[in-house]
Amino acid sequence: MTVQQVRFVIVGAGIHGLATAWQLARRLRASGRGDGSDVLVVDKSGVGAGASGVACGVIRNNYFQPAMRELMAHSVGVWESDPEAFSYHPVGYLQAAPEAMRADVERIHAEQRAIGYESELVIGDSECRSYLRGLFDDWRAEGITSVLHEKRGGYANNVASLKGLAAKAEAEGVEIRTGVRVTGIEVDGGAVTAVRTDAGDIRCERLVLAAGPWIRDLWAMLELPERIDVTDTDGNVHPNRPMWTYWALQEGTLEVDPHTFTDNAGGLPPVVHVDSDRPLRDSDGLVTEDMWGIYYKPDFSFGGVQGGAAPVEVPRPAAEVAVDPYGTQSPEFVVGEEFVRMWTAALAHCHGRFEGCRSRYRREPSGGIGAFTPDSFPVFDNVRQNAYVIADSNHGYKMIGVGELVARELLGEPQPLLEPFRFDRFRTGRLHPVSNSPFPWS
């Protein structure tokens, strides 16, 4: 097999790999330090063949964690920079929440205002009911005491946006080589010297790992720890925690005309996210008395009303996770009847138009898996001397702006927005705060 030499090798042709390649090539050319021919993207399957290609596409700033909120404000700006190429729909994002989350929502709104991110806050049971019925005549969920309506954000069509990103990278001269599987990484004296693949070795100056849920295997190739000690924000040390845990994503589509879900003016509504502590019931009886949360939107790419709920942890050691969960849709990662019942019951709980909608759920594989870090938030950092890890902890698709920031860091410009996501936070206890949301990433 031949040996190739290239300055930058990026593993993964999803949202992060493609965005980094595009931005890196742009900056090399603009600075006179090179061009797109210095950047090679490799992927074992194809563009968007993994997590990015099955993402529901929601783009939001709605995070309890200040660092995530600032990073997402930057990313929304990138989505807005070329909506057509990124197949981006700026319909906004609306969160409806119960009293238990009211303080969290108020804090998010205050901090959004502090960074100039436009959103509207509504507080109080009757006030929220009036606001929501002003959008949707058939709104009927009770117990909502806070509504945060982000005027920016929305959603993008997953595959179309990745094709747009790939086209931008290739226009800058980047080569995207698909069907190439990484089989090993050569490290000498603490630095990566070459990437071994089933198509030959690639020698490089810098390596970027942007492989989504496959990060665990590449992490191991760099001989980085499978388990770590984690210090919490109170200084308590939790020893021998797994670096990567896997959660099954729960998403699906209601097979109805997307025009079925419009606002009172007949227009596309914002992406809707509802958290509730009210008992959830359907025609078969009680579904759950625990706090629950769903998100949903009309989506012409999916051909219906599409959305999801909180993920569930895979009850098996990480080392046993299927090698190719997105390619094979292994049964253990396909959403089951419990999710279908809960999600459709929750839709009907919120809107009269979805009453008795369970039979319209599209019976097809959905979801997949995500690799989560010990605190469920991303790691963006240099490891070894010249390897950079983009481990999104399943926040990935919406964070298109990470590519620009990583590209700048690769060229020697440290980025403050990425500082809160360094690997050493697990050692120092600088973890991200936790909200009252039922979602692990909120």
User: pLDDT band at residue 313, thresholds of 50, 70 and 90?
Assistant: confident
Instruction: For residue range 347-398, list pLDDT tens digits in order.
Output: 999 999 999 999 999 977 666 788 999 999 999 999 999 999 999 998 889 9
- CA–CA gap between residue 391 and residue 381 (Å, rounded): 9
Order of strands, sheet of 271-276, starting from the edge strand that comes earlier in the sequence? 119-123, 146-150, 93-97, 271-276, 292-299, 304-313, 245-254, 369-372
Number of domains in the chain: 1
Q: What mean pLDDT comes out for the span 286-302?
A: 94
Residue 110 domain-assigned? no
Residue 1 has pLDDT above 60, yes or no: no
What's residue 29's pLDDT?
97
Q: Give DSSP secondary structure letters for 283-298.
A: TTEEEESS-EEEEEEE
Taken in order 96, 99, 103, 104, is the CA torsion positive or negative?
negative
CA angle, residues 155, 117, 379, in degrees to nearest 5: 65
Instruction: For residue range 74-89, list pLDDT tens digits in order.
Output: 999 999 999 999 999 9
Q: What mean pLDDT comes out for the span 42-65?
A: 90
Instruction: For residue range 91-144, list pLDDT tens digits in order.
Output: 999 999 999 999 999 999 999 999 999 999 999 999 999 999 999 999 999 999
What's residue 336's pLDDT?
78
Instruction: For residue range 157-169, list pLDDT tens digits in order.
Output: 999 999 999 999 9
Expressed as residue numbers, the domain containing 406 is: 1-92+154-238+376-442
Instruction: For residue range 240-277, list pLDDT tens digits in order.
Output: 999 999 888 889 999 999 999 999 999 999 999 999 99
- CA–CA gap between residue 19 and residue 318 (Å, rounded): 28
Residue 277 domain-assigned? no
Instruction: For residue range 195-230, list pLDDT tens digits in order.
Output: 999 999 999 999 999 999 899 999 999 999 999 999
Tokens of 3: 């040996």
Residue 142 domain-assigned? no
Residue 350 domain-assigned? no
Residue 268 domain-assigned? no
Residue 344 domain-assigned? no
| Arithmetic mean of pLDDT over the chain | 92
Q: What mean pLDDT comes out for the span 36-42?
A: 98
Residue 304 domain-assigned? no
- CA–CA gap between residue 93 and residue 97 (Å, rounded): 13
Taken in order 105, 109, 115, 116, is the CA torsion positive or negative?
positive
Are residues 221 and 185 in contact, defined by beta-carbon separation less than 8 angstroms?
yes
Residue 322 has pLDDT above 60, yes or no: no
Q: What mean pLDDT comes out for the span 50-72?
A: 90
Residue 228 domain-assigned? yes
The CATH number of residue 36's host domain is 3.50.50.60
User: pLDDT band at residue 323, thresholds of 50, 70 and 90?
Assistant: very low
What's residue 329's pLDDT?
42
Q: Dihedral, CA atoms, 217, 220, 224, 227, nearest 10 degrees?
A: 80
